């Protein structure tokens, strides 16, 4: 009894430390960690909606490919301030990126719509007809 | 630390990118600190901030007592009918403050928002510009 409650306390402490480390608390607030670009995936009526934060990217620098159940998002963010400048602070970075995500459903590639607005890319990925569940009549 | 631990660590770390604003705010909801570049040219200071998802009319730039405060509100309504299945970042408003020295011509600060990137141009005051002194 005593042991288990002690373990609980220690485990909670370990969790708290892990969480604190993951928030970048010990790395300074301006440090970037993780994948780029960050992506959220939502579900809407059986279809998927992929949302990515991509501020300051030109539409023509973005490349989107969909096949079966995978989505590939590639591109480049270019930051160019010109010449004869001095930096006081740099937190934003220009980088090439290339991410491929596996989705839990097959996508109807012909009906995929992508929209880039206010630095956010929204891709609607409708589920393939062949992939949809079918109701079977019981005889 | 064994290899497996490292992999788990990395996956956990991937979900964190934005740093949360630690001050107090009167508006409910999460606030994040926008990633910012500050560069200096001959004539002005340029402050560039990443604020994805913020529309032009919901951005507020305020200069008070030499403190430049930027506040960008996010419209959460498009997310209302969406059900998250996989997440790597959180959505919230943006806020950040800077102290501006008196070498800035505060009357002529210019703000421009495009593709989720806010650019503030802070022109240097004419008296603060370097002057070449001729040697006789």
CATH of the domain at A41: 2.60.40.790
For the cut 90, the answer to whether the pLDDT of residue A27 exceeds it is no
Domain that holds residue A10: 1-32
Is residue B103 a part of any domain in this protein? Answer: yes
Q: What is the pLDDT of residue B21?
A: 78
Burial class (CB in 10 A: 0-12, 13-18, 19+), B24: exposed
The residue of chain A nearest to residue B55, with distances taken between CA atoms, is A118
How far apart (Å, rounded) are the C-alpha atoms in residues A46 and B1? 41
Is residue B8 a part of any domain in this protein? Answer: no
Is residue A95 a part of any domain in this protein? Answer: yes
Do A62 and A91 belong together in one domain? Answer: yes
Do A66 and A127 belong together in one domain? Answer: yes
Q: What is the pLDDT of residue A122?
A: 95
Do A59 and A113 belong together in one domain? Answer: yes
Is residue B1 a part of any domain in this protein? Answer: no
How far apart (Å, rounded) are the C-alpha atoms in residues A76 and A24? 25
Q: What is the pLDDT of residue B37?
A: 93
How far apart (Å, rounded) are the C-alpha atoms in residues A47 and A104? 11
Interface residue B82 vs chain A (CB under 8 A): yes
Measured between alpha carbons, how far is residue A56 from residues A53, A92, A94, A119, B94 in Å?
10, 10, 10, 6, 16
Interface residue B15 vs chain A (CB under 8 A): yes
What's this model's pTM, rounded to 2 decimal places?
0.74
Q: Look at A67-76, A119-128, B10-19 and tell me which has the smallest mean pLDDT.
A: B10-19
Residue A110 pLDDT level (bands cut at 50, 70, 90):
very high
Residue B4 pLDDT level (bands cut at 50, 70, 90):
very low
Which ipTM score applies to this complex?
Answer: 0.74
| A85-98 confidence digits (pLDDT tens) | 899 988 888 888 99
Is residue A83 a part of any domain in this protein? Answer: yes
Is residue A136 a part of any domain in this protein? Answer: no
- Beta-strand relationship, B67-74 and B54-64: antiparallel
Is residue A21 a part of any domain in this protein? Answer: yes
Do A22 and A51 belong together in one domain? Answer: no
| B73-123 confidence digits (pLDDT tens) | 998 888 888 888 888 888 889 999 988 887 888 888 899 999 999 999 999
Asked if B40 lies within 8 A of A86 by C-beta distance, the reply is yes
Is residue B25 a part of any domain in this protein? Answer: yes
Is residue A49 a part of any domain in this protein? Answer: yes
- Residues in chain B closer than 8 A to A55 (CB atoms): 50-52, 115-117
Interface residue B88 vs chain A (CB under 8 A): yes
Is residue B132 a part of any domain in this protein? Answer: no
Residue A14 pLDDT level (bands cut at 50, 70, 90):
confident
Do A66 and A28 belong together in one domain? Answer: no
Q: Mean pLDDT over all residues of chain A? A: 84
Do A26 and A86 belong together in one domain? Answer: no
Three-class SS state of A54: coil
CATH number for the domain spanning B65: value is 2.60.40.790
Query: Between A1 and B53, where is the model more confident?
Result: B53
How far apart (Å, rounded) are the C-alpha atoms in residues B131 and B129? 6
Chain B: give the shortest CA distance to residue A101, in Å: 11
For the cut 50, the answer to whether the pLDDT of residue B9 exceeds it is no
Do A67 and A47 belong together in one domain? Answer: yes
Chain B: give the shortest CA distance to residue A53, in Å: 6
Do A12 and A41 belong together in one domain? Answer: no
Residue A2 pLDDT level (bands cut at 50, 70, 90):
low
- Residues in chain A closer than 8 A to B5 (CB atoms): none
Q: Tokens 């989107």 belong to which residue?
A: A64
Is residue B26 a part of any domain in this protein? Answer: yes
Is residue B133 a part of any domain in this protein? Answer: no
Query: Between A15 and B94, where is the model more confident?
Result: B94
Domain that holds residue B55: 18-79+87-127
How many percent of chain B have pLDDT more than 70? 84
Is residue B71 a part of any domain in this protein? Answer: yes
For the cut 90, the answer to whether the pLDDT of residue B2 exceeds it is no
- Number of domains composing chain A: 2
Q: What is the pLDDT of residue A107?
A: 93
- Residues in chain B closer than 8 A to A85 (CB atoms): 39-41
How far apart (Å, rounded) are the C-alpha atoms in residues B119 and B136? 43
- Number of domains composing chain B: 1
- Interface probe, candidates B51, B56, B85, B112, chain A, greatest A C-beta count within 10 A: B85
Interface residue B115 vs chain A (CB under 8 A): yes
């Amino acid at each position: 009894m005593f042991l288990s409650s002690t373990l609980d306390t220690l485990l909670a402490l370990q969790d708290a430390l892990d969480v604190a480390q993951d928030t970048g608390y010990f790395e300074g607030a301006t440090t970037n960690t993780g994948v780029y670009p960050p992506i959220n995936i939502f579900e809407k009526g059986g279809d998927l909606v992929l949302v990515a934060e991509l501020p300051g990217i030109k539409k023509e620098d973005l490349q989107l490919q969909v096949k079966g159940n995978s989505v590939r998002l590639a591109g480049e963010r270019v930051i160019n301030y010109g010449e004869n400048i001095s930096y006081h602070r740099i937190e934003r970075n220009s980088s090439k990126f290339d991410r491929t995500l596996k989705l839990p459903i097959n996508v109807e590639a012909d009906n995929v719509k992508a929209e880039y607005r206010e630095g956010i890319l929204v891709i609607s990925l409708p589920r393939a007809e062949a992939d949809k569940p079918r109701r079977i009549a019981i005889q | 630390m064994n290899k497996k631990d490292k992999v788990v660590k990395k996956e956990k770390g991937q979900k964190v990118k934005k740093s949360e604003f630690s001050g107090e705010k009167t508006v409910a909801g999460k606030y994040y600190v926008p990633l910012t570049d500050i560069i200096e040219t001959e004539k002005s200071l340029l402050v560039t901030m990443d604020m994805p998802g913020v529309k032009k009319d919901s951005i507020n730039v305020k200069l008070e007592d030499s403190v430049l405060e930027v506040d960008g509100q996010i419209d959460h309504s498009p997310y209302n009918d969406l059900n998250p299945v996989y997440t790597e970042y959180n959505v919230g408003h943006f806020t950040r403050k800077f102290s501006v020295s008196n070498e800035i011509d505060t009357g002529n600060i210019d703000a421009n928002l495009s593709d989720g990137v806010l650019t503030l141009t802070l022109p240097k005051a004419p008296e603060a510009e370097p002057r070449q002194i001729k040697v006789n």
